[in-house]
Amino acid sequence: MLRHLALTLRRWGGWLLDAVYPRDCFFCGRPSGDSQICQACYERLSLARNPACLICGAESAMPEGPDFVCSDCLHHRPAFARAFVAARYEGDIRDLIHAFKYHGGLWLTDDLVRILVGVYIGRIVPLRLGIDAVVPVPMLLRKRRKRGYNQAEELARLLAAQLHLPYFPKALKRVHTGVLSQTRLARGERLANAKRAYRTRRAEPLRDRTVLLIDDVLTTGATCDACAHALRAAGAKRVYVLALARPLFL
């Protein structure tokens, strides 16, 4: 109950404060209208990346052609058809995501979704993929309770609302598997572990839908691979991934 109240306050607190104080830009501190990032700082955000793998969205360190597929995807094709990534996980983007995720920065949701909508309109719409479901990457219930929210869910809900796409917040479930730190495991073990960790809920009508899976940061892609695997096992036609950022190197 208290936790719910705290979350509600956190969610609406920004609006209440706006009524009293004008918003200041996250980066430069100047008044920023009804956004948390002023237009000048928004235009300066580092959204440029090197050419990325056509499937998993991993950036290449080398100049590559537009049909570049990384060696990981050549060896193991993920269960999702393609991942779209907005930015490299560093600098200003990393600061934003960090505040959003670890410092209760739900007031940044609008601005982060604005970045995702930009990718959707600029890169996904022209491909006519027929997306008809938006699903967030789930979080362990215990972790969600501690944080008060699942950041992927917050992004996915607003994105789906702005794009008028059907939203399935509970399509996937993260179950506890007692996994050690994912980064300490070999690739094969990581994938096997991840597959055990994500399940679909039977009630969700995902059959024959083309799903857009939303995450904040893609690291190895194993999580999205496992989620896509579960969604396809539940009858989803195809799964695409949209994430805010991915590190250049792990």
Q: Which of 23, 38, 112, 139 binds Zn ion (CB under 5 A)?
A: 38
Question: Is 214 near Zn ion (CB under 5 A)?
Answer: no
Chain centre distance of CA 228: 14
Residue 53 or 152 having the CB closest to Zn ion: 53
Q: Of 4-12, 71-79, 222-230, 241-249, which segment contacts Zn ion by CB under 5 A?
A: 71-79
Q: Cα separation of 127 and 65, whole Å?
A: 18
Amino acid at site 244: L
Query: Nearest-CA neighbor of 96 among 18, 44, 174?
Result: 44
Residue placing its CB nearer to Zn ion in the complex, 163 or 217: 217
**Structural contact between residues 134 and 206, judged by C-beta atoms closer than 8 angstroms:** no
- Does 155 bind Zn ion (CB under 5 A)? Our answer is no
Continuous segment of H or E residues that includes residue 141: helix 141-147
Instruction: Select 25 or 137, whichever has its Cβ closest to Zn ion.
Output: 25
Could you say whether residue 108 binds Zn ion (CB under 5 A)? no
124: contact with Zn ion by CB under 5 A: no
Binding to Zn ion by residue 55, rule CB under 5 A? yes
Do 35 and 23 form a contact (C-beta atoms < 8 A)?
yes
Find the length of the chain.
250
Residues at the contact surface with Zn ion, assessed by CB under 5 A: 25, 27-28, 38, 41, 53, 55-56, 58, 70, 73
